C-alpha cells in the first residue's frame, strides 16, 4: 500500500499573528513557521501504518514557497520516504490544492491520501473533502482512529455529538483530528538521513491547474478587542457581580 | 436570487444552528428553501417549514442520509443545486464534512465558517484562530458556504412553507455507517446553551468534572472543556471548545482551570460575560475575563455551588 500525505507549512501554532496596519493580510515577516499540526499527525499515522507493515511507501507533498521544502524535510526525517515540492509563491486556495493533488494522485496512485483536517492558518477544513469529491473517493474525516480491514478502512470520527465510525473502501481519503496520535520528534540520525531522501521539484504548470483564486481578499482586520475586566476577591463577590452587575444570573 | 439552506438535525429535532443559517440566508435577499436530509425525519421538515421567510422545504430520506454520510449528502445536494445562487449549511461537523465536496463538484471555492454576510458575494470569516477577520469577495457562480451559528440571530417561527418529498440518491457502495457513540446528557447542547462551564487540565481528572456538572445542573448550563482536558481523557471529545473544537458564545462562560491558549480563546471569546477561575494570576485567560478569580479551583468551585444555592439556584 502507498500513502500520500499532503503537508502544509504554516505559522507556528504558538505565534499570535498580527494584522498588518494596511489591512492587506497578517504580518508574516520573521514569524516562526512550522508544519501544520494536523499534518504532523497525518505523517505520524502514515509512519505507524508502515511500521505495522500495512504500507510500503509514504510520499509527502507540499504546495508552497521555497520554505515548504523544510516542511517536507521534517516529514522525511520523521520517516516518510520521499517528497514532492510544488513550488509557488501564490496563495493557493484549497480548491486549487485539491486539483493539484488530484493530478498527483493520478500519477502516484496511492491507496490512501492522509491529510490534516484543517490548516491552522486559513482554518478552512476543506482540502481533503474537496479532493475526495474530485476523485469520487469515500472519506473518513476528523479521524481519531483508523483501522485497516480487507480492502477498506474503519475510521472513527470526532463529530459534534461524540464519535461516529464509518467503513470506507480503498482508495480513500482520511483527514486527521487531534486525538489520532501523538507525532514523534525526528531523531538526529534520521534528520541526517532525511537529507539524502529525494524531493521532486515541480511547479503548478507541470499539473496544468489554474490557481487563480476564487475569493478576492478585500480586507484582513483585527477582531474586536476584548478588554480584560476586574479581579474579584471572593466567590460571594463573584456571584453578586454576576447577578447584580452583569445580570447573567 | 434563491438560497438553499441545509438543515442540521438529529432526525428528530431541528437543530438551532439551522435558524442561524436561515438568518444568514435572509441577508442574500430572495427565496429561501430548506433541504432536510435524514431518515424518519418528517418532524424535522415540519419544524423547518415554520421558520421565518422559508418558502419551501424539501425532505429526502434514506439510511445513509440518516447517518449524515458525506458521499450521500454530496449527491443529494448536487441533484437539487442547479437552481440556487447560494447553498448554506451550519458549520457543524456535518456541514464541514460534506459541503466542501459539494463545492468541489460545482467547481467553486468553499467559504468556511462565515461570521457575516456583507452582500450576496462578500463575506467575513475568521482566520488564524480568530486572530484576524478576513473579508472575501467570491467570483464563483454559486456560493457554497458554512455558517458559524453563534454570530447570527436565530430565525423565528413565523413561516408556513410546504414540505415536498424528493427522492434520495442511491447509496454509494464505497462508504457505510458502522456505529456511533454519542454522549448522552440531559444538559443543553454546548452550542446552544445560555451558560457554559468548562474545565481544563487544572481539573486534575475526570471525576472532578462532577463539581462542574453540579453547577451546570443548578444553572441549566452545558459543560465544556479545553483540549488538554479532552486529551487527558477527563471528558469526551465533543466537550472541546476552541479553534478546532466547538465555538460557543453563551451569555456566561465560566472557565475553570483553563490557561487560555489562543486555540481555546478562539472558541469562546465572543461570549457575553466571561468568568475565569485559575490559581495562576498570570494566566492569559484573565486578559479576556470580565470577572477573574485567582483561587484554587478545588476550594472555589464547591464554594460557588454553595453560593449559588444561597442565591436560590
Ligand atoms: C492544532 C491545535 C489545535 C488546538 N485546538 C484547541 C482547541 O480547539 N481547544 C483548546 O482548548 N485547545 C486547543 N489546543 C491546545 C491549546 O494550545 C492548549 O494546549 C490547551 O488549550 C491548554 O488546555 P488547558 O488550559 O486546560 O491546560 P493548561 O494550559 O495546562 O492550563 C491549566 C491551567 O489550570 C490552572 N490550574 C491548575 N491547577 C489549578 C487549581 N487547582 N486551581 C485553579 N487553577 C488551576 C493552571 O494555572 C493553568 O492555567 C490546540 C492546539 C493545537 C496545536
Ligand atoms: N498548500 C498545501 N500543500 C500541501 N497540503 C495542503 C496545502 N493546503 C492544504 N493542505 C492539506 O489539506 C489539509 C487541510 O487544509 P485546509 O483545507 O486548508 O484547512 C492540510 O492539513 C494539509 O494536509
Please give the distance of CA B284 from its chain centroid, rounded to a whole number: 25
> Across all residues in chain B, what is the average pLDDT?
97
The C-alpha atoms of residue B277 and residue B254 are separated, in whole angstroms, by 8
Ligand 1 pocket, mutate which of B191, B226, B289 (most atoms under 8 A from CB) = B226
The C-alpha atoms of residue B170 and residue B164 are separated, in whole angstroms, by 19
pLDDT band at B171 (very low <50, low <70, confident <90, very high): confident
ipTM computed for the complex: 0.97
Helix (H) or strand (E) holding A56: none
The C-alpha atoms of residue B99 and residue B185 are separated, in whole angstroms, by 28
Regarding the beta carbon of A38 and ligand 2, being less than 6 Å apart is answered yes
B217-237 pLDDT, tens digit each:
999 999 999 999 999 999 999
Q: Does residue B149 surpass a pLDDT of 90? A: yes
Q: How many CB atoms lie within 10 A of CB B57?
A: 25
B275 near A CB under 8 A: yes
Look up residue B240 and give its DSSP letter: B
B65 grid coordinates: 442520509
**What is the structure's pLDDT at B193?**
96
Percent of chain A with pLDDT over 90: 98
**CA B200 to ligand 1 centroid distance, Å:** 6
In this structure, of B50-59, B105-114, B180-189, the range with the lowest mean pLDDT score is B180-189
**CA B201 to ligand 2 centroid distance, Å:** 30
**What is the structure's pLDDT at B297?**
98
Please give the average per-residue pLDDT across B257-266, as a whole number. Answer: 98
The reply to whether residue A179 touches residue B230, judged by beta carbons under 8 angstroms, is: yes
pLDDT band at A208 (very low <50, low <70, confident <90, very high): very high
**What is the structure's pLDDT at B305?**
97
A231-240 pLDDT, tens digit each:
999 999 999 9
A225 near B CB under 8 A: no
**What is the structure's pLDDT at A92?**
97
B172 near A CB under 8 A: yes
* Alpha helices (runs of H) in chain B, residue ranges in sequence order: 17-26, 42-49, 63-66, 70-81, 93-105, 209-219, 227-231, 262-265, 297-310
Q: Is the dihedral of CA A186, A187, A192, A193 positive or negative?
A: negative
CB < 8 Å to B172, chain A: 138
Please give the average per-residue pLDDT across B132-151, as a whole number. Answer: 98
The C-alpha atoms of residue A159 and residue B244 are separated, in whole angstroms, by 12
CA end-to-end span of chain A: 58
Nearest CA to B106 out of B138, B130, B140 is that of B140
B264 near A CB under 8 A: no
**Opening angle at CA B96, ends B112 and B267, nearest 5:** 70
A22-69 pLDDT, tens digit each:
999 999 999 999 999 999 999 999 999 999 999 999 999 999 999 999
pLDDT band at B173 (very low <50, low <70, confident <90, very high): confident
Query: What are the two backbone dihedrals, phi and then psi, of residue A24, each rounded to the nearest 5 degrees?
Result: -95, -10
Q: Does residue A71 surpass a pLDDT of 90? A: yes
**What is the structure's pLDDT at A227?**
85
The reply to whether residue A162 touches residue B139, judged by beta carbons under 8 angstroms, is: no
> Across all residues in chain A, what is the average pLDDT?
97
Nearest to B252 among A19, A127, A242 (CB): A242
Nearest to B97 among A94, A141, A228 (CB): A141
Please give the average per-residue pLDDT across B126-135, as a whole number. Answer: 97
Regarding the beta carbon of A58 and ligand 2, being less than 6 Å apart is answered no
Percent of chain B with pLDDT over 70: 100
The reply to whether residue B289 touches residue A239, judged by beta carbons under 8 angstroms, is: no
CA end-to-end span of chain B: 49
**Opening angle at CA A176, ends B8 and B10, nearest 5:** 15
A133-160 pLDDT, tens digit each:
999 999 999 999 999 998 999 999 999 9
B281-296 pLDDT, tens digit each:
999 999 999 999 999 9
**What is the structure's pLDDT at B172?**
84
Say which CATH class A2-222 falls into: alpha beta
B186 near A CB under 8 A: no
**Opening angle at CA B83, ends B82 and B87, nearest 5:** 80
Nearest to A160 among B92, B101, B231 (CB): B92
Which protein residues touch ligand 1 with a CB less than 6 Å away? A 13, 37, 120; B 200-202, 226-229, 240-245, 257-259, 261, 263-264, 267, 278-280, 283, 296-298
**What is the structure's pLDDT at A108?**
98
In this structure, of A9-13, A95-99, B125-129, B309-313, the range with the lowest mean pLDDT score is B309-313
A90-118 pLDDT, tens digit each:
999 999 999 999 999 999 999 999 999 99
Q: Does residue B241 surpass a pLDDT of 90? A: yes
pLDDT band at B1 (very low <50, low <70, confident <90, very high): very high
The C-alpha atoms of residue B99 and residue B209 are separated, in whole angstroms, by 35
3-class state of residue B123 by DSSP: strand
- Listed by number, the residues of chain B in 88-107 with a beta carbon closer than 8 Å to a beta carbon of chain A are 92-94, 96-105, 107
Sequence ranges of the domains in chain A: 2-222
Alpha-carbon distance A165 to nearest alpha carbon in chain B (angstroms) = 5
Alpha-carbon distance A195 to nearest alpha carbon in chain B (angstroms) = 31
A154 near B CB under 8 A: yes
B23-80 pLDDT, tens digit each:
999 999 999 999 999 999 999 999 999 999 999 999 999 999 999 999 999 999 999 9
Regarding the beta carbon of A204 and ligand 2, being less than 6 Å apart is answered no
**What is the structure's pLDDT at B14?**
98
CB < 8 Å to A219, chain B: 134-135
Amino acid at each position: 500500500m502507498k500513502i500520500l500525505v499532503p503537508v502544509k507549512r504554516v505559522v507556528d501554532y504558538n505565534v499570535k499573528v498580527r494584522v498588518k496596519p494596511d489591512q492587506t493580510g497578517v504580518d508574516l515577516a520573521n514569524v516562526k513557521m512550522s508544519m501544520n499540526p494536523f499534518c504532523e499527525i497525518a505523517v505520524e499515522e502514515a509512519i505507524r501504518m508502515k511500521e505495522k507493515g500495512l504500507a510500503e511507501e509514504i510520499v509527502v507533498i507540499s504546495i508552497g514557497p521555497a520554505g515548504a521544502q523544510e516542511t517536507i524535510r521534517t516529514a522525511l526525517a520523521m520517516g516518510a520516504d520521499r517528497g514532492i515540492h510544488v513550488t509557488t509563491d501564490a496563495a493557493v486556495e484549497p480548491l486549487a490544492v485539491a486539483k493539484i493533488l488530484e493530478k498527483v494522485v493520478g500519477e502516484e496512485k496511492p491507496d490512501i491520501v492522509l491529510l490534516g483536517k484543517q490548516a491552522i492558518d486559513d482554518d478552512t477544513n476543506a482540502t481533503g473533502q474537496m479532493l475526495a469529491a474530485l476523485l469520487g473517493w469515500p472519506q473518513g474525516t476528523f479521524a481519531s482512529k483508523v483501522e485497516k480491514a480487507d480492502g477498506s478502512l474503519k475510521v472513527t470520527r470526532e463529530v459534534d455529538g461524540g464519535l461516529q465510525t464509518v467503513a470506507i473502501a480503498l482508495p480513500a481519503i482520511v483527514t486527521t483530528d487531534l486525538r489520532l496520535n501523538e507525532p514523534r520528534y525526528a531523531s538526529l540520525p534520521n534528520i541526517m538521513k532525511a537529507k539524502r531522501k529525494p524531493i521532486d521539484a515541480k511547479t503548478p504548470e507541470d499539473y496544468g491547474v489554474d490557481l487563480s483564486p476564487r475569493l478576492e481578499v478585500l480586507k484582513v482586520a483585527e477582531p474586536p478587542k476584548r478588554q480584560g475586566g476586574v479581579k474579584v476577591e471572593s466567590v460571594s463577590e463573584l456571584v453578586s457581580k454576576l447577578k447584580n452587575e452583569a445580570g447573567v444570573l | 436570487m434563491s438560497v438553499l439552506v441545509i438543515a442540521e438535525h438529529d432526525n428528530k429535532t431541528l437543530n438551532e444552528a439551522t435558524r442561524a443559517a436561515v438568518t444568514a440566508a435572509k441577508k442574500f435577499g430572495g427565496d429561501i428553501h430548506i433541504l432536510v436530509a435524514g431518515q424518519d425525519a418528517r418532524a424535522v421538515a415540519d419544524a423547518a417549514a415554520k421558520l421565518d421567510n422559508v418558502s419551501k422545504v424539501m425532505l429526502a430520506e434514506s439510511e445513509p442520509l440518516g447517518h449524515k454520510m458525506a458521499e450521500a449528502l454530496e449527491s443529494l445536494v448536487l441533484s437539487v443545486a442547479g437552481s440556487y445562487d447560494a447553498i448554506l449549511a451550519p458549520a457543524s461537523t456535518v456541514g464541514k464534512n460534506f459541503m466542501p465536496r459539494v463545492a468541489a463538484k460545482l467547481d467553486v471555492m468553499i467559504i468556511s465558517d462565515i461570521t457575516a454576510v456583507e452582500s450576496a458575494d462578500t463575506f467575513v470569516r475568521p482566520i488564524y484562530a480568530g486572530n484576524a477577520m478576513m473579508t472575501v469577495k467570491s467570483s464563483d457562480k454559486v456560493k457554497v458556504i458554512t455558517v458559524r451559528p453563534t454570530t447570527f440571530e436565530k430565525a423565528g417561527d413565523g413561516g408556513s412553507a410546504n414540505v415536498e418529498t424528493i427522492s434520495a440518491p442511491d447509496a454509494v457502495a464505497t462508504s457505510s455507517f458502522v456505529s456511533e457513540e454519542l454522549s448522552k446528557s440531559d444538559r443543553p447542547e454546548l452550542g446552544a446553551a445560555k451558560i457554559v462551564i468548562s474545565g481544563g487540565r487544572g481539573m486534575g481528572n475526570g471525576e472532578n468534572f462532577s463539581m462542574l456538572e453540579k453547577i451546570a445542573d443548578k444553572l441549566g448550563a452545558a459543560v465544556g472543556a479545553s483540549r488538554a482536558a479532552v486529551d487527558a481523557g477527563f471528558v469526551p471529545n465533543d466537550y472541546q471548545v476552541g479553534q478546532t473544537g466547538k465555538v460557543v458564545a453563551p451569555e456566561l462562560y465560566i472557565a475553570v482551570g483553563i490557561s487560555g491558549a489562543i486555540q481555546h480563546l478562539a472558541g469562546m471569546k465572543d461570549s457575553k460575560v466571561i468568568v475565569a477561575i485559575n490559581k495562576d494570576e498570570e494566566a492569559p485567560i484573565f486578559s479576556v475575563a470580565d470577572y477573574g478569580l485567582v483561587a484554587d479551583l478545588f476550594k472555589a468551585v464547591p464554594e460557588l455551588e454553595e453560593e449559588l444555592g444561597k442565591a436560590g439556584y
